[in-house]
A and B are shown apart, each in its own frame.
Chain A
Amino acid sequence: MKKLAIFFLAVLLTGCVDKEIIDDINIEVAVGYDLLEGSEDTYRGTILFQEFQTDKSVINRTYSGNGLLRKDLILDVSKQTSEPVVTGGLKLAIFGPDISEKGIYDLVDSFQRDASIGARLFILTAEEKAEEVLEGNYGSRGNSTYIYNLIEHNIEHHDIPYTNLHLTMRDFYQKGEDPFFPQIKKISNDKVEVSGISLFQGDKEVDVLPVEKMFFFKLLVDKYSEGNFEVKLPGGDLAAVKSIRSKRKISILDKKTNIKITIRGVIREYTGKTLTQEVIKKIEKGLEKEIERETLKLLKKFQKLEIDPIGLGRMKKTQTRNFDFKKWEDDYKNMDFNVTSDVLIEETGVIE
């Protein structure tokens, strides 16, 4: 009897909370923010839904609204959609150029606060308006899935450093470290591409690194990384090198920072005639020089912009008791850098 009562209670209690049936809701999968034209603090937001059709195709649908808070946007959009909007599936947040320059903290903070949003959300910046990016039609699996996968595989195998909502927020809150975001660009109505890395100071965009610099940026920022690079040899021949493993070691002294980058790579392509041991040595030397020159340029640039995407301040803190971040800021401005690199080509492919 008792068991029966409990059973019935369990069945009855299921009615206590709202049901959400997947066909009867709109799942927000991506969101874009721009500054409303002619306005100081109101943003224009765009929400993307992916509607799955019975023939397995996906329709991208965007709705836009204006507001001051993130929820304003959802309220605005709810007035236009036939089903309630839920945020649990959000995978992408794209920020347009003007709002990135103004500061994005308040909006990003709301992602953190929302218990239903995962930590693997990607935050991106766009070269043009975020609304335009979301309004395209990319791939057959929906815009959000397309862009998400684009960024993900570029992180895993190419030149975008590790990033997601959690890592970004960590960089943001960490004293002595600044966040960065991948930047994307809409090329045509059915294509987008990675167009660089947005460098932030606090929550404001200060500069964008072009695509060519991303390989070096990743070498500096990520502890271990993979990536691709092209080396031009003195004779005019080209070689494509893929780095399989790379490691960076940073030691920060009072006035000087030594960075040592070690790369183990393979040659993927070579335009010259034969790839002799001599040529390989040349390629290694050429790449080493290139890395040293380019990373040094990047470091100087960060110094000038007064940003620290690598987290040198954080690293210095871990080595010092009673660390003083104020003093570090001055130290950082006058820091000398010394980059050495060591490239080893392990394999050259299946032919000689």
Chain B
Amino acid sequence: MKEQTVPDRLKISPFLVFYLIMSMQIGIGVLGYQRIIAMDAGYDAWISILFIGVGIHVIVWMMYKIGETVNGDIVTAHKYLAGSFFGKALSVIFIGYFILYSLTVIRTFIEVIQVWMFPELSTFWFTFGFLLLCVYIIFGGFRTVVGTAFFGVVLPAYLLFTFGWAVKFSNLSNLLPIWDHTIKELLTASYHTSLTFIGFEIILFCYPFIKEPKKSQKWAHLAVLTTTLIYTVLAIITFSYFAEDQLQKQIWATLTMWKIVEMPFVERFEYIGIANWNLIILPNVCISIWIASRLIKRIFNIRQKIGVFFIVGAVLILINFLNTREKINTLNDYIGKMGFAFTFIYIPLLFAAVKIAKKFMQKRKVKKQ
């Protein structure tokens, strides 16, 4: 099987995988995941985050094994298993997945701006401006996209400290008694964190672009560990800040906690925080559009630039149909479910299939000799 190889000058250093994954994972889910997980497992839900964190490490390991075995991305893996035509057909689904993903991220973020800051903000024009910036970045190539990912993690990192204000008004004893829920409830909550956690699956798509992928694996694990810890700590702060019934009313608990922030130069910190969130959203959208356009290039042999325009056009049209909280919520729900199905069901299956196929082929080789 002959694959076009990516020249070294287009590849990224192994440690950048850390930023790539973290920036893709942290996005819009983190603004309001606390309420969703507390619905299932109450204030024990922080344990669920640790559960899924462990699960993700296994999946990351599987993805690297898949990449190693077929020496390429998911399209190569599909071709390896199902031949050229069916392999490509299977991969087409993921174009849709990543277009929907970028759509969800942009629309949810615009909703936040509309509810918290400017109700009269035009969805279409904001998306237009935002996507223009994304197109500009994506045309710079994969390395530029990863560059935004780096800044998308480093620059807004200070926001973590702003939750310190909430600590003063929190009651850690809210978490007691620990383990007041059944394992089943805890696992359901884990399942519902998927929207917050998805994003690490991009390794399967970026694998050929990583220099010495073996070395990057530890960075991938470190990224997953860091996000898990951030989510756990944030959940613990949220749970001790709100009463349980009160949290159920907060759509964006993370943002509501900013209401307590008091600074001499600004009355409402949300304005700074949400504006900064732009930087967190940017790599999310850029990476997903880049991946979708890369898939188009690999599958249909169309120039990547044309693919980008196609995707951006699709997002610009689709976004106008999402005009109520309910629709946006449904979309968030779906993308969470799709992400879960992809990462926790499809990837293990793919992993098993690739392993079996490899054994089979080796046997055939031995026989031939």
Contact = CB atoms under 8 A, between A and B. Distances in A.
Interface residues of A, number: 35
Contacts of B310: none
Contact of A321 (B126, B132, B180): B180
B176 A16 contact: no
Contacts of B129: 9-10, 13
Interface string A317-346: 011111000000000000000000000000
Contacts of A164: 169, 260
Interface in B87-142: 115-118, 120-122, 125-126, 129, 132-133, 136
A166 B125 contact: no
B177 A118 contact: no
Nearest to B250: A112
Contact of A116 (B120, B245, B249, B268): B268
B128 to A, nearest CB: 9
Contact of A2 (B117, B118, B136): B136
User: Which residue, B121, B243, B244, B249, has most C-beta atoms of chain A within 10 A?
Assistant: B243
Given A6-B132, A10-B129, A321-B180, A173 B245 contact: yes
B176 to A, nearest CB: 4
Contacts, number: 79
B151 interface: no
B369 interface: no
B214 interface: no
Q: Chain B interface residue count: which class? A: 20 to 34
Contact of B173 (A117, A171, A315): A315
User: Which residue, B126, B132, B180, B259, has most C-beta atoms of chain A within 10 A?
Assistant: B259
A79 interface: no
Interface string A167-180: 10111111101000
17 contacts: A6-B133, A13-B125, A16-B125, A17-B120, A119-B259, A120-B260, A162-B169, A166-B241, A167-B169, A169-B243, A173-B242, A173-B243, A175-B245, A318-B174, A318-B176, A319-B176, A322-B180
Interface of B: 115-118, 120-122, 125-126, 129, 132-133, 136, 169, 173-174, 176-177, 179-180, 241-246, 249, 256, 259-260, 262, 267-268, 270
Given A9-B129, A17-B120, A88-B267, 11 more contacts: A6-B136, A18-B118, A115-B117, A120-B262, A166-B169, A169-B246, A170-B242, A173-B244, A173-B245, A174-B244, A321-B177
